[in-house]
Structure 1
Amino acid sequence: MKFEDANQGRELLVFIEQLGPLAWQRFESRYPTFKFKGQDPISEDRSKVPPFTSFRFVVEDSEIISKIRTGIDTFEGNVKWVIIGHSRDFFPGKTNWMICPKLIIDVSEMAREVGTTPEQYVEEHYPDFGPLAYADLRGLAEHLKSVFSK
């Protein structure tokens, strides 16, 4: 596996980290590597699980969030992407943001009805969607860079 393959899923986070210090971050990796005590690292193929990028800035700037939202709304890829915010009650004025394929939001209710997560639902019912979304993620990150360079 090449280095680029091992980092698939992190492309958007790499760009967002340049916008300001992050207090928290999380993303889905296409090929995560796990290391257990006394064993060689093991890579897993999670291509069918759609990528997401979650983050919270140390100091949130509404103009940056607005520009990210504009970039996501104007991106013309193979997948429709969204940004959603979740206010953190214990961190006044702080929001956890998640950028993900819109399909994750669209299947949330159906996933809940069958007792699974939206990501697991997509993995099971739309197995070709994850690789399509990973292929789109790099383009989304490049598009956001261009929005911020204007």
Structure 2
Amino acid sequence: MNTASCPCASGQALDQCCGRYHAGVPAPSADALMRSRYSAYALGLIDYLVTTTLPAQQAGLDRQAISAWSLGSTWLGLAVENAQAISGEPEHAYVTFTARWRDADGEHSHQERSAFVAHAGRWYFIDPTVDLKSGRNDPCPCASGQKFKKCCSSYL
């Protein structure tokens, strides 16, 4: 049992917080997934970061760059400012947060409003830096069965 504090700043032990998601339990919300992704950066869990990104985008991720940033940084804290669930089929959400870290260039702070989509009982991060290569009338890459323009396109 790991009683270390969870890097996501929940105040809970890692095993009772993000560690269970890292071990395979699906995150129950976009907020929980976002927190677990921050913790994965802090812990160097690159495979988790890849598998929790929208599957259609995973091949476009730069694993080496993700690993270098994760392992080359000291993660200083996370503050979640807002989590907004958007009902529909599939469900989407936005999570606004500020992450802080230190690297060879000093201390940094980054505020972001990230988009997420739920599919087949799991939440996924929609990475705005990875092109989905979908036309407006193509099937949505989240596998919802809807056209891209009616589903995830507005979340990029």
TM-score, scaled to structure 1? 0.24
TM-score, scaled to structure 2? 0.24
Q: Which has the higher helix share?
A: 1
Choose between structure 1 and 2 for higher RCO, CA contacts under 8 A separated by at least 6 residues: 1
Q: Which has the higher strand share?
A: 2
